[in-house]
Amino acid sequence: MTTPTSPSQNASRTVHFRVWRGNREGGAFANYPVTVSEGMVVLDCVHQIQATQAPDLACRWNCKAGKCGSCSAEINGTPRLMCMTRMDTMPPDQSVTIEPMRSFPSIRDLVTDVSWNFRVKTKIKPFKPRKPDNADGSWTMMQVDVDRVQEFRKCIECFLCQDVCHVLRDHHKHDEFIGPRFLMYTAALEMHPLDTEDRLKDLKDNDGIGYCNITKCCTKVCPEHIGITDNAIIPMKERVVDEFYDPITRLFRMFKPRN
Amino acid sequence: MTRAPLSLPQVRGFLKTERTDRWWIAPLLVLAGFGAFIIYSTWAAFQGNNFFIGGVEQPGVQQLLSPFYSPVIWDPRGVHSGHAWLGELPLWWPAWLIFSPALLILPFPGGFRFTCYYYRGAYYKAFWGDPASCAVGEPALRGTNYRGEEKFPLIFQNVHRYFLYVAIIFIGLLAWDGYQSLWHYNAAGQTEFGFSVGSIVLIANPILLGAYTFGCHCWRHLIGGKHDCLSCSKSRQSAYKQVSWLNQRHMLFAWISLFGVAFTDIYVRLCANGTLTDWRIL
């Protein structure tokens, strides 16, 4: 959304940060000036604030390489990984705002309680493979059949997609809607060539797939660039239409039972 | 699946956000582009005239038919387009009921676009503010009463595949119009081959519409996506791959074809009312 600054702007400079400080009862933005030099990312700046100005600033992080999904936050209003947001992509003449993810309850400062996600995951019917194809108990699959599923397995569970989804963020439908991360997780299981389980009724009745109105915000914020909407959610919506809404496919199914 | 007994952050007010980029440009462009098309197409559909050129009564002029009026079920009374399937408007048509050939057919391509997955996401943002953009506040009135496409009325978006079936038929009809644009009548009343700027316009139109229609998410599902085993059929695997290529460019073709079809109507209309002359190349 922003363009990199020129090399001359990469020399050390002072950037003003507005960081959300608070807990479950509430909070406010606190201002911190940070000396930024070439190559720094937002997480570096947060660490500098911790080291020099606010040692009690709470922040979750781990790999600092965009693979653990821990340092999710909202940077200038957009859900992003702090470790993958380079400072030279920030507007040079503006302050940088960092907030915790707004779709989950705050614990403290930039740390949120994302445990709801793990509880949702346990409700999804697990992988149920068909009988092994070979005598040694193994299966045979073609790569083209697992390509679609493998895209979804890039997910690092940073929950940025859950954070940006307005169904959770603005409408707080946590009890009725599992969010893009788990619609994609379900799609990975449903599309798997070995899987025999049927999750379409759950998608329609319990998981709230109909609440998704295809804003594609989840796709836009995904740090792994997974086609969440086009490749996972819409194909699942279409399978739900096949199963429950399309009278012609329902008629065909009467003559051709599912395997 | 209940959430932790902790309060969620206060929902922001309508259009409120901490985003510092120009997030409002995209929904504004959609509002302007889609709004302009709706206004123009509605106006053009109600005109009921200037929707074709060529035919026996205009020798030497290539046969061009506006896509807003194709197929022509009935011609308006006193008009002989040469394209009507059933001739002139029948006498039983009530005088009080406004008639234009376009009004009979436009609901089908209109419905296809209205229920298209790309357009849904785009106009929910631009027209509904649902949300206006990612991580931007919504009108407070929805709150937890949000229904999405889960319930009435938007649950009817699931009818999209039926509009797709009709849209595919329309691609064939418009391709036929493109072929017809290669012919004109001579003074003796016989058809002759020719090629004009209008021929290019009418041939390009179904190609662009085809690139949009056959990149549809629903078509991608029907052509192979609904199967877990793509490799079980080479033709299915190949078709899925090609449709996926178009699907990745669905937004691009949605807009190009939208403006393409409007431009085609404008071109035919300007030729028909004498503002432009369809320049014959051959």
Q: Where are the domains of chain B?
A: 25-89+97-137+149-272
Q: Tell whether the model's pLDDT for residue A254 goes beyond 90.
A: no
Quick check: A175 contacting B, CB < 8 Å?
Answer: yes
- Which of A21, A87, A80, A85 shows the shortest CA–CA distance to A54? A21
pLDDT tier at A1, thresholds 50, 70, 90: very low
Is the pLDDT assigned to residue A114 strictly greater than 70?
yes
Query: What domains can you pick out in chain A, each with its CATH number?
Result: 7-112 (3.10.20.30), 115-255 (1.10.1060.10)
The pLDDT of residue B10 is 65
Rounded CA-CA distance B59/B61 in Å is 6
Asked if B91 reaches chain A (Cβ–Cβ under 8 Å), the answer is no
For A:228-257, CB contacts with B below 8 A are 229-230, 234-235, 237-239, 241-242, 245-246
| Binding-face residues of B in 125-154 toward A, CB within 8 A | 125, 130-131, 134-135, 137-138, 142-144, 146-151, 154
Gap between the Cα atoms of A26 and B10, Å rounded: 9
CB contact under 8 A, A115 and B4: yes
What part of A 27-56 touches B (C-beta under 8 Å)? Answer: none
Which amino acid, residue A97?
Answer: T
- Euclidean distance between the first and final Cα of chain A, in Å? 47
Confidence category of residue A250, pLDDT binned at 50, 70, 90: confident
| Amino acid A258: pLDDT | 55
Say if the Cβ atoms of A174 and B2 lie within 8 Å.
Answer: yes
Interface residue B233 vs chain A (CB under 8 A): no
pLDDT at B2: 52
Q: Name the DSSP class of B157.
A: G
For residue A206, the chain B residue with the least C-alpha distance is B1
- Residue A85 has a pLDDT of 98
Cβ contacts of A228 on chain B, cutoff 8 Å: none
Strand (E) or helix (H) holding A121: helix A115-123
Whether chain A has a CB inside 8 Å of the CB on B13: the answer is no
Instruction: Provide the pLDDT for residue B7.
Output: 59
Q: Mean pLDDT in each 10-residue stretch from start to end of chain B (282 residues)?
A: 56 90 96 98 97 94 97 95 95 95 97 98 95 92 86 95 98 98 95 97 98 98 96 97 98 98 98 96 91
Q: Give A 6-25 residues with CB within 8 A of chain B.
A: 24
Q: Which residues in chain B have their CB less than 8 angstroms from residue A112's CB?
A: none
List, in sequence order, every residue forming a beta bridge with B202; answer none if it has no partner. none
- What DSSP state is assigned to residue A82? G
Cα A69 from Cα A64, distance rounded (Å): 9
Interface subset of B 160-189, CB within 8 angstroms of A: 161
Q: Is the confidence at residue A259, as pLDDT, over 70?
A: no
Tokens of A210: 């109909």
A133 lies within 8 A of chain B by CB: no
CA distance B230 to chain A (A): 6
A173: contact with B, CB 8 A cutoff = yes
**Measured between CB atoms, which of B17, B20, B161 is closest to A94?**
B20
DSSP assignment, residue A241?
A: I
pLDDT at A105 over 90: yes
In DSSP terms, A30 is beta-bridged to A19
pTM over 0.90? The answer is: yes
Crossing angle of helices B250-272 and B197-213, in 10° steps, is: 150
Which residue from A minimizes the CA distance to B5? A105
Q: Say whether residue B16 is in contact with chain A using an 8 A CB cutoff.
A: no
This complex has an ipTM of 0.93
